Amino acid sequence: MQECESNPERYYELVSTLTPDRVKLQGIFKKEREKKRVALDAAIVLHGLGGNFYGSSLNLGLADALGSLGIAVALINTRGHDNISMSRIAGRAETLGAAYEIVDDCRHDVAGWIDWIHQRGYKNVCLIGHSLGAIKALYAAATLQDADIKAIVGLSATRLCHDAFLQSERGADFRKWMKIASKEVELGNERKLIHVDFPFPTHMAAGAYRDKYGPEDRYDWTRYVDLISVPALLIFGERELQDNAAFHGLREKACEICETSDSFSMTVIESANHFYAGVQQRATDAMKDWIQEKF
């Protein structure tokens, strides 16, 4: 499978895996082509909210950089790929996607892909993700405790913190949507789609909204950093830390984590927004330099 005509060296194999709870997921895989330069064998790259394995130029650039280090790369779907999608669960077609996903299920998705990587003969895996993909990489590493997860790179891991959202400049918008979603959940309408505009405009099921952003803070990655003992790099864009309500207070919290943890490091990319528009190479270079230094 040739991913990009402008880059004839970028060839991938279309692959699939079955998660422990029997969800079939697809991805693309590129074997190592360069001489191995670091002590990591393979990387699993996770997309952000509503993304997929083929749609992110940032993730494809990260994959190229990893390949130049002699690392095999799998760019993969989780069950939250695209906003609404059809997947096979135990052989049955089911409607899934970002609009309906419960983030906790990502641990099954990552477990399925790690098993697939193992079957290909690789160990020493790095989990890499952008946005919600970064949260999933951190969450999966903390919950799975898989001995073959040796490193994590999280780009723009938003802090899914209920109180931080309430205290942000768009706290009133968040309060409104949380009230609407919670009411639908109380009425038994967990899968009812609502068109929210916080933290960004999208359609999301009431139950999924409540799961991601509710006061339980299930996916506030800053709460479970103590469960992560492998080297972890946090990358943020300078502009998103300043202007994006989903990052309210996060710079200070991330700095505190890096000061008190032996595992975490942080890099802020100057002038970068959430998608690193125009400066993706800087983010890619930051990841590559960190891997070479640590491994």
- The model's confidence at residue 6, banded by pLDDT at 50, 70 and 90, is low
pLDDT (tens digit, 9 = 90+) per residue, 8-40? 566 889 999 999 999 999 999 999 887 788 999
Give the fold, CATH level 3, of 13-160+218-294: Rossmann fold (3.40.50)
Q: What angle do CA 110, 111, 116 make, to 5 degrees?
A: 95
Tell whether pTM > 0.75. Answer: yes
3-class secondary structure for 16-64?
EEECCCCEEEEEEEECCCCCCCCCCCEEEEECCCCCCCCCCHHHHHHHH
Q: Is the pLDDT of residue 7 over 90?
A: no
* Mean pLDDT for the stretch of residues 56-66: 95
Label residue 5 exposed, middle or buried (CB < 10 Å: 0-12, 13-18, 19+).
Answer: exposed
pLDDT at 128: 98
Write down the pLDDT at residue 94.
Answer: 85
pLDDT tens digits for 192-213?
Answer: 999 999 998 999 999 999 999 9
Binned at pLDDT 50, 70 and 90, residue 248 comes out as: confident
Do residues 194 and 177 touch, judged by C-beta distance below 8 A? Answer: yes
Q: Could you tell me the residue ranges of all domains in the chain?
A: 13-160+218-294, 162-216
Cβ 95 vs Cβ 86: under 8 Å = yes
Average pLDDT, the chain: 93
